[in-house]
A = this chain, B = another copy of it.
Amino acid sequence: MRIPKAIQNVIESFERLPGIGPKSAERLTFYLLHVPQGELDRFALAVQNLRKDTIMCSSCFNIGETDPCFICRDPQRNQSMICVVEQPLDVIALEKSKKYPGVYHVLNGKIDPLNNIGPDEIRIGELLQRILNDELRITEVILATNPTMEGEATAMYIAKKLKVQSDKLKVSRIGRGLPIGADIEYADPTTLERAMEGRSEY
Contacts and interface: CB of A to CB of B under 8 A. Distances in A.
A17 interface: yes
B9 A46 contact: yes
B89 A4 contact: no
Nearest to A32: B50
Contacts of A43: 13, 44, 47
A65 B5 contact: yes
Bin chain A's interface residue count. Answer: 35 or more
B27 A89 contact: yes
Contact of A50 (B29, B53, B64): B29
A54 B28 contact: no
A47 B13 contact: yes
Interface in A68-116: 70, 87-89, 92, 95-96
13 contacts: A2-B70, A4-B63, A5-B53, A7-B54, A10-B46, A10-B50, A26-B89, A32-B47, A33-B50, A33-B51, A40-B47, A40-B48, A41-B48
